[in-house]
Amino acid sequence: MRQGLLLIERLQRELAQAINRVLEPEELGLAEWMIVSELAAADAPLTRVARRLARDPGALSRATTRLIKRGLLRSTRHEKDRRRATLSLTPRGRVLHDRVAAALDATTIATSASRALPLDHLLSLFPCGSSPATPFAAVSRATAASPRPHDLHAPAKENDP
């Protein structure tokens, strides 16, 4: 059991480092990337994004504000309910998404056997769930449905607000 836990810890650390090597040059944090990748699938209100990523709306709101200031997202107010807004990627945000997604596609993790494993292979090891309880469940579900498993989106459900 101890060896398994140590292996999981090492894999988690190496995975985080590999992802950060891609995100840092783009001046993106993980929360910001998760928002961008979710909105790459479809425009959505912040509450839906937060629910689908199993994240606190307040924390995502701060990340969203940073992305809007950088010109990567736009927020469009609802015509009848001014409290509601829909988030969407700007053309700059779409270009950034495609560039980061391609870089993540090319990312590999060194294993103890001195060979590299593609990031998408590692993410495919997570079992697919019917609803994301954590961001990792969203990653694994995206893995099953998308050629880019690090895009954390999944197809929107019709009853999703």
pLDDT, tens digit, for every residue of 5-21?
Answer: 887 888 788 888 888 99
Question: Do residues 72 and 64 make contact, with C-beta atoms less than 8 angstroms apart?
Answer: no
Residues of the chain with pLDDT > 70, as a percent, come to 66
Q: Nearest to residue 45, comparing CAs of 33, 57, 54, 37?
A: 57
| pLDDT attached to residue 48 | 92
Write down the pTM of the prediction: 0.67
| Mean pLDDT on 136-159 | 43
Q: What are phi and psi of 118, to 5 degrees?
A: -65, 145
Q: Nearest to residue 72, comparing CAs of 100, 36, 43?
A: 36
Question: Does residue 32 surpass a pLDDT of 50?
Answer: yes
Distance of alpha carbon 27 from its chain centroid, rounded? 15
Question: Does residue 94 surpass a pLDDT of 70?
Answer: yes
User: Domain locations in the chain?
Assistant: 26-116
pLDDT in tens, 37-76: 999 999 999 989 999 999 988 888 999 999 999 999 999 9
Which of the listed CATH numbers 3.40.50.2300, 2.40.50.140, 3.40.50.300, 1.10.10.10 matches domain 26-116? Answer: 1.10.10.10
